[in-house]
Amino acid sequence: MKLADVEDHMQKAVEATQRSFNTIRTGRANTSILDRVQVEYYGAPTPLKSLANISTPDASTITVQPFDRGSLSLIEKAISLSDIGLTPNNDGSIIRLNIPPLTSDRRKELVKVAAKYAEEGKVSIRNIRRDGVDSVRKQEKNGEISEDEARDLQDKIQKLTDKYAAKVEELLAEKEKDIMTV
């Protein structure tokens, strides 16, 4: 595994953490909170965004307009069963989700969820570091690189790990601020 590969994998881990953060609602309507909703459509779990047009007409409402009207009840059921904590209102052609203002207790719960996502991101980065260091040790053992080169590469991998873990922490601090802002 090359140093560029290690950095690329770590960057992807940070991006995945950012996407996870986007699924946490912050008190204003954001279509990305529905990204993880899967609808049982013709026997297969299908992402909601591939079955419907999702939009935010105002700061406290999300509308879901299915491409196929027959899937309306399936979409409503999937949203109800998901962990986003919103109740869908079905008017026969569109589903409306009203985003209520967050209570302070709910905000604290969401901060904990964000911290969990951040920890998952950092674990992912540390696993990438471990794989990179193992690869360097294997190259050293096989005589492909010298002991000094191996130590230098391991130091660089550790610096990358620190850099990307700090990025995850920055994203977490930003998200916490976003969640706690009324």
Provide the residue ranges of all domains of the chain, joining segments of one domain with +. 3-21+103-180, 28-98
**pLDDT tens track for 51-96:** 999 999 988 899 999 998 888 989 999 998 887 778 899 988 899 9
Q: CA-CA distance, 176 to 126, in Å (whole number)?
A: 23
Residue 155 has pLDDT above 90, yes or no: yes
Q: CA-CA distance, 130 to 154, in Å (whole number)?
A: 10
Residue 182's pLDDT is what?
67
Once rounded to an integer, what is the mean pLDDT over residues 156-167?
A: 95
CB 57 within 8 A of CB 51: no
**pLDDT tens track for 110-152:** 899 999 999 999 999 999 999 999 999 999 999 999 999 999 9
Phi, psi of 113, rounded to the nearest 5 degrees = -60, -45
Q: Which residues are 53's β-sheet partners? A: 65
| Residue 20: burial class (beta carbons within 10 Å; 0-12, 13-18, 19+) | buried
Pairs from 135-144 (Cβ < 8 Å, separation ≥ 24): 135/1, 136/1
Once rounded to an integer, what is the mean pLDDT over residues 20-44?
A: 84
Decide if domain 28-98 falls under CATH 3.30.1360.40: yes
* CATH class held by domain 3-21+103-180: mainly alpha
What is the identity of the amino acid at 58? D
